[in-house]
Chains A and B, each alone.
Chain A
Amino acid sequence: MAKFVSENFIPARVHVKDDADAFKKYGEKYNAHWTPTILELDPEGEEFWRIEGFLPNDDFLAQLMLGRAQMDFKKGKWAEAEKRFREIYEKLPHADAAPEALYWAGVSHYKASNDSAALKETAQAFKTRYTDSTWAKKASIWA
């Protein structure tokens, strides 16, 4: 967890009471109405991912990884995004975020290659993994 965070982010914490001025400034700016709220911001401060509420370690790490992958995806870095999405379900296959990561890995591959086979293969993968997930339903259109 700490390694992933230090490699990918500059981590900052605003405590609602002990950092009251900073909380007023940044809590209002980013609409943080509950704690914990964890935001992934790009270097310019634009929000790309939000985690609200406590999660156990593996699920929290998977969400952090998902957000970092989405940042690359939304910036059109398809290959980097695909690699990051794949890492999630390969390293944390039982995390809640794993089916979503499998879905977006397929989309990233398609975006990079423009080959619809990538989507078909993803739909196929959902026939044996995460079959009851919402993401399996979303991918089913590609079968």
Chain B
Amino acid sequence: MEITFRHDVDRVFEDAKRQTKPILLDFSAAPM
């Protein structure tokens, strides 16, 4: 099973605060 990364990063930060869940933030140059 692949990790499903979100790209709406601003929203991720809002959701993390609301859910009190840490964030895994991946800076990548790999082909999408």
Interface residues of A (CB under 8 A from B): 1-3, 5-6, 8-19, 22-23, 25-27, 30, 32, 35-45, 48, 64, 68, 71
Contacts and interface: CB of A to CB of B under 8 A. Distances in A.
A39 B24 contact: yes
A36 B16 CA distance: 22
A26 B12 CA distance: 12
Main secondary structure of the interface of A (DSSP, over half): mixed
B23 A45 contact: yes
Given A12-B24, A36-B30, 13 more contacts: A8-B22, A9-B21, A10-B19, A15-B28, A16-B28, A19-B7, A19-B9, A22-B10, A38-B25, A39-B26, A40-B23, A40-B24, A41-B23
Contacts of B12: 10, 12
A48 B24 CA distance: 10
Interface in B2-29: 2-10, 12-13, 15-17, 19-29
A48 B12 CA distance: 17
Contacts of B26: 11-14, 36-39
27 contacts: A1-B3, A5-B3, A6-B4, A9-B23, A9-B24, A10-B12, A10-B19, A11-B3, A11-B6, A12-B8, A14-B9, A16-B27, A17-B29, A22-B10, A30-B25, A36-B27, A37-B26, A38-B27, A39-B27, A40-B23, A40-B24, A43-B19, A43-B20, A45-B13, A45-B23, A64-B24, A68-B22
